[in-house]
Structure 1
Amino acid sequence: MQMIRTIPVKEILTASSRTQLKDKFDQRTQQLDQECRQLSFEQKKLERKPGIAKQDVERRFSKEINRRKDQLRWLEYQRQQLDTLPDGSELETDEVEALVTVEEGDHWAEVTQEQQILIKDGKVIRAR
């Protein structure tokens, strides 16, 4: 049997990776901000249409806007961590899903054991 697992990806901070991560965080922040503005525009446009309940439109759009605002808060937290952590520290930057095969007789503790991928300067240095 196979199951899907989420595995965190951690970046070991160096001077060059710190710069790359700041750029990545800035780009993602701009993208999320643009998406929030676009969703607000679409919400107002739909609210003006006759025959559409404003409460339904507001509920649907506010859910999506709040999800993006949560991502913006997470990016801000990661940015603060990036500024405070010294070089050589590990910063969780992403998550990936992996397919794990489970067979009869496998030790459950080994299957559910915490796994992670470590990256340094754009190269995978350890998958543990």
Structure 2
Amino acid sequence: MQIREQGRKIQFIRSEYQPELKRSTSKVITSCAKYATALSEEELELLTPEERAQAKAYFEKRQQDNANWRRNYSVQSLHEALQQTIAHLKEGNQLDAAYADSLWQAMAVLQKGLKKAGHVKPVRPKSINK
């Protein structure tokens, strides 16, 4: 079975060999929305057990790829989010005490993770006060 994204749909295509034609023919068995996370029961009934396993593996891989993308995006945009938080606090806005505690804990875990990954803390530049 082939699985193909076509526009806003995902198509599940079965190829069968036709001896009288001496070639394979392809037929769209079912399709679903591009952002679906699984096939409905009615759609699954149209597939063979082998094809169901393929569809399940496809959706699992796609879900894992999406989770990896979201995690990577969060890491890449962390610096900007921290800058926005700093600006928010500089403007005199307050944070909920429980949320502030969770931020402190998360920053401590982040520092440990950075050290463990081999990223040393940069030396703070000395301020020039005369």
Q: TM-score range by the shorter chain?
A: under 0.3
TM-score normalized with structure 1 length: 0.27
TM-score normalized with structure 2 length: 0.27
Please say which structure displays the higher CA radius of gyration.
2
Q: Which has the higher strand share?
A: 1
